[in-house]
Structure 1
Amino acid sequence: MNPSTQGLTLHLWPSKWNLPSIEPSCIVAAFYLQLALPGRFSIQECTNPDLSPSGQLPYLTHGHHTVAPLSSILKYVAALTPASISPVTGPDAPEPGFSADVDVLLDPSDRALRTAWIAHAESALGDLVAYVFYSIPANYAAITHPTLSSFYKVPQSYYVPKRICQAHQARLQANGLWNTPGKRLRQKTPSALTRKKRKRIQSRYIKAHFSASGLLGDKNFFFYDRPTTLDLVLAAHILLLVHAPLPDTLLSSLLSSSYPTLLSHARRVLAAATPTVPVHPPERYRLSALLPYPSFHTWWSEPRPPKSEEEKRFERMRWRWIGLAILGSVGYWFIWGPKLRFVKVENGDGDENLAIVVGGETVGLDIGDEADDGVEEEVDDNANA
């Protein structure tokens, strides 16, 4: 499926570390579409969040519709019917009663529980992921910054990663998790005091959220025998924390030793929901990427319809008129325009200066009353512009 067709196309941050993306909400969107519409969508990797209506990735395009952010994407996909999806024939055609809602079997009580836990997960685990990738100096210097820089070419590779880091700064500062990694990029081996402080922070956030392990118990998934949205949200955050080759392994070790059940759950979700659809790499850097507004970029990049013979004829006539106007202007200047001469003018002090004579008037030099006493030497009597 080509992303330029009328089919469903999910736009998200590029994949890395054997995950669909480097950002939790993008991973959740990719997992959800794989479970809801297997084989009926495509993925377009993107590095320009400004193309999204919300200014953040992911976003979904479906024909003339553009949907963002993640919560709106999930609602839009869940409400799709077989008639609204790109036509699929043969054995892959939707069955009667088809539903794209991953949580279709949940009763009202389970839906309320799901909504509460998702909000808690996105808040607590979202802070933890941002802290690990953007606030721990060793991780930011060795993994986060090089990964973001690799998505761009010069000059964007120099300033875009810093802008993304600054976007997380306010959130982390409000929670007391900001370590100003830009000032500590060279710190390779944190002191024992620093490690103890980080362990307290990570333990507090893990215990605050991973009480969800009690809800999971011995089950493979939270509610029934296939992942729901809650499974996807929880797994997306945990997978990023354990799959990325972070130099600081304190958190991954803590997860492995204290919460092996949640690690196993995250890996089951990855095996069940990894997208198997075409993935299109990000567009190459183009001059149009410097345009400040998405509408300008869209206008620049949109395909142009073929021109009719009448339109081609008028275009040729327009270019002929432009050519004649330019030729006439240049010819008038050379034939009937004022003649220019470059001359040397000597002032009263004996210094020589270069001046231009246009139609008998000297310009480009303020010689005052001393011009009458000066000696004018013509350099090119017939020089024309």
Structure 2
Amino acid sequence: MLELHVWGPAFGLPSIEPECIAAVAYLSKTIPSGEWTLIADYDTSLSPNKDFPALRDGDTWAAGFNSIIHYLRHRSAYSVDPDGSLTPSQRADSIAYIALLAQHAAPLLALTLYTTHANYYHCTSSAWTAILPPHLNYTIPPARRRAARALTAHLGLQGLDVEDIDDSPLGQPDNNQSISGAYASERKKLEAGARPGVIPLGKRSGVLGALQKPEYTTRFKLDGLAAETLAPLNDLLGEKPWLLNEEDEGVTSLDCLALGYLSLMLYPPLPQPWLAETLRSKYLRLEAYVRRSRRSLLGSRDVVAADVLSLNKFSSDPAALETARTEKGITLPWTPPAPSSPLTTLLHLPQHLIHSLPGAGYIHDHHTHIIPAHPPETSTALAPSTVSGAYRTPTSVLVTFATFAAGLISLVAGAALYHVQTRREASDLVFVTERGRPAGFAAFGEAGAALAALSERMSVEAEWARREQAGEARVVEVDVEIEGAKVGEL
């Protein structure tokens, strides 16, 4: 029996991580029902790369989506390969687009789920809380966020909150209105026959002022980053039901991985849904593809974390477990993880605390990780990177005592670290502007120069009208001689 260990469900999806969703979709397509189980886990100590997804086949572990595919392709008992019918050209496309997802889609998800302050604290952090034991909420979510920041550091968008802006024409802030909300409000006014507000002109308002706001420039850059990922996938999809195949049953590993990333862009109920808005408004075919793929590979029902975790009490009663799954309408083969003792939890705590330290966050390792405890004869072609049977609880009293002491010290250090982090991150709204680029309308070339001239002219006229109404304007008579002629102007 195969065991697929994943981070728990979130946002109605089988997992909070894209590669875990992809692995669930892949096994749903390739492994017959009854030959694999799905486990919502949090103990990564047995995983070769100390992260999920991880596939267990007896004494052999394979970690990471690519490693799981590699392992299943070379196991005679699981010979179903959805990529087996691809042409050489299609295989090349599959490799290229899998790399695209890793290099561009992963940073996009990091930005929308973790780096965006409001999304992380109001949605992502809560989703982690629902699937983790209380003591791990102090280590794993902050570590994931630090890893996401490291992954997106080169983009210059740390701590972004792209829609907490002052969009009021009179300069009165409306903290509850987003860019999309302001647009919808103005549209309703127009449909009701109301006169739209006049855009004031000046150095800090109007078109120039709006374009100079860091919130707007950040949103422009985010739209560009989204296009780098979504536009190529949308073009590859075209009118086909799947990314590479035109057959209705032509799902491939690329489709599974794309579903993992795109579903986390579309479904989470984020307070700042800029990425989902882009997907829904500009890439309609891709949105329909995500919804169709989810129904085909994961089922049409939302996965509820509480329902999945409630199965843990039936770990010793398979019949009651099956009954509970049926009553709750659970279609995926969710199974409780093996119960862990308090000692095991304490022994594994230092590992999570180490991962929570700056510079040691959870960053996906896409290399192959296949570790058999006892290499089977049928897996010699896999060339496993490591052969180890060391994943056992130490039995030596001395080792146990030393580990207990280390765990206790690490627990205190972790609590102190979390206290410092929460103080530092409570107001981490940061806008980073790249230097060396032209500011204002100069960044838009000749069109910007024309807009700048128009804005300056309108500003002068507005200032003259204000002075005239205030009685500050004076009429001056000027005589100008042009080629001997005398012309009088006011």
- TM bin (shorter chain): 0.5 to 0.7
Equivalent residue runs for 1:13-24 within 5 Å: 13-24=7-18
User: Percent identical across equivalent pairs?
Assistant: 27
Superposition deviation, residue 110 in structure 1: 0.9
User: What residue in structure 1 maps to residue 106 of structure 2?
Assistant: 126
Superposition deviation, residue 139 in structure 1: 0.4
CA distance in structure 2 between the partners assigned to 1:161 and 1:138 by the alignment: 15
Match of 1:200 among 197, 207, 220: 220
User: What residue in structure 1 maps to residue 277 of structure 2?
Assistant: 253
CA distance in structure 2 between the partners assigned to 1:151 and 1:227 by the alignment: 30
Normalised to the residue count of structure 2, the TM-score between the two structures is: 0.52
CA distance in structure 1 between the partners assigned to 2:103 and 2:178 by the alignment: 27
Equivalent residue runs for 1:327-366 within 5 Å: none
Superposition deviation, residue 262 in structure 1: 0.4
Superposition deviation, residue 290 in structure 1: 1.9
Residue 144 (structure 2) pairs with residue 167 (structure 1): no
Instruction: Determine if contact 2:14/2:21 at 8 Å carries over to the other structure.
Output: yes
Instruction: Determine if contact 2:11/2:127 at 8 Å carries over to the other structure.
Output: no
Match of 2:118 among 115, 138, 141: 138
AA partner of residue 50 (structure 2): G
User: What residue in structure 1 maps to residue 334 of structure 2?
Assistant: 279
| Stretch deviating more after TM superposition (23-32 or 190-199) | 190-199
User: What residue in structure 2 maps to residue 264 of structure 1?
Assistant: 288
Instruction: Determine if contact 2:241/2:289 at 8 Å carries over to the other structure.
Output: yes
Match of 1:229 among 248, 253, 261: 253
Instruction: Determine if contact 1:43/1:280 at 8 Å carries over to the other structure.
Output: yes
Instruction: Determine if contact 1:14/1:21 at 8 Å carries over to the other structure.
Output: yes
Equivalent residue runs for 1:71-90 within 5 Å: 71-81=66-76, 84=77
C-alpha spacing 1:168/1:250, structure 2 compared with 1 (3 Å)? closer
Instruction: Determine if contact 1:138/1:248 at 8 Å carries over to the other structure.
Output: yes
CA distance in structure 1 between the partners assigned to 2:282 and 2:91 by the alignment: 28
Residue 241 (structure 2) pairs with residue 220 (structure 1): yes
Residues 351-370 of structure 1 show CA distances to partners (whole Å, capped at 9, x for unaligned) of xxxxxxxxxxxxxxxxxxxx
Residues 241-298 of structure 1 show CA distances to partners (whole Å, capped at 9, x for unaligned) of 1111111122212211100100111112111111744212456674221214789995
Superposition deviation, residue 223 in structure 1: 2.1
User: What residue in structure 2 maps to residue 63 of structure 1?
Assistant: 58
User: What residue in structure 2 maps to residue 27 of structure 1?
Assistant: 21
Instruction: Determine if contact 1:103/1:229 at 8 Å carries over to the other structure.
Output: yes
Report SS of the residue matched to 1:203.
Answer: helix
Report SS of the residue matched to 1:56.
Answer: coil
Instruction: Determine if contact 2:259/2:290 at 8 Å carries over to the other structure.
Output: yes
Superposition deviation, residue 137 in structure 1: 0.9
CA distance in structure 2 between the partners assigned to 1:195 and 1:284 by the alignment: 48
Residue 392 (structure 2) pairs with residue 299 (structure 1): yes
Instruction: Determine if contact 1:11/1:44 at 8 Å carries over to the other structure.
Output: yes
Residue 83 (structure 2) pairs with residue 107 (structure 1): no
Residue 43 (structure 2) pairs with residue 51 (structure 1): no
Residues 37-71 of structure 1 show CA distances to partners (whole Å, capped at 9, x for unaligned) of 13121111111333311112111000111111221
CA distance in structure 2 between the partners assigned to 1:59 and 1:301 by the alignment: 23
Specify which structure has the bigger relative contact order, considering alpha-carbon pairs within 8 angstroms and separated by 6 or more residues.
2
Instruction: Determine if contact 2:236/2:244 at 8 Å carries over to the other structure.
Output: no
Residues 111-136 of structure 1 show CA distances to partners (whole Å, capped at 9, x for unaligned) of 01110111012211111001100011
C-alpha spacing 1:66/1:22, structure 2 compared with 1 (3 Å)? same
C-alpha spacing 1:154/1:13, structure 2 compared with 1 (3 Å)? closer
User: What residue in structure 2 maps to residue 8 of structure 1?
Assistant: 2
AA partner of residue 269 (structure 1): S
CA distance in structure 1 between the partners assigned to 2:147 and 2:176 by the alignment: 24
Report SS of the residue matched to 1:105.
Answer: coil
User: What residue in structure 1 maps to residue 460 of structure 2?
Assistant: none
**Structure 2, unaligned stretches of length 5 or more?**
165-174, 180-209, 300-330, 352-387, 396-490
Instruction: Determine if contact 1:256/1:263 at 8 Å carries over to the other structure.
Output: yes
Question: What is the CA RMSD across the aligned residues, in angstroms?
Answer: 2.8
Superposition deviation, residue 17 in structure 1: 2.0
**Structure 1, unaligned stretches of length 5 or more?**
1-6, 86-98, 303-385
Residue 374 (structure 2) pairs with residue 289 (structure 1): no
Residues 150-179 of structure 1 show CA distances to partners (whole Å, capped at 9, x for unaligned) of 323333222332122122221111332321
Superposition deviation, residue 201 in structure 1: 2.8
* Number of equivalenced pairs: 277
Report SS of the residue matched to 2:4.
Answer: strand
Report SS of the residue matched to 1:44.
Answer: strand
Instruction: Determine if contact 2:108/2:225 at 8 Å carries over to the other structure.
Output: yes
Match of 2:32 among 30, 33, 38: 38
User: What residue in structure 1 maps to residue 486 of structure 2?
Assistant: none
CA distance in structure 2 between the partners assigned to 1:16 and 1:260 by the alignment: 24
Bigger Rg over Cα? 1
C-alpha spacing 1:271/1:190, structure 2 compared with 1 (3 Å)? closer
AA partner of residue 278 (structure 1): P
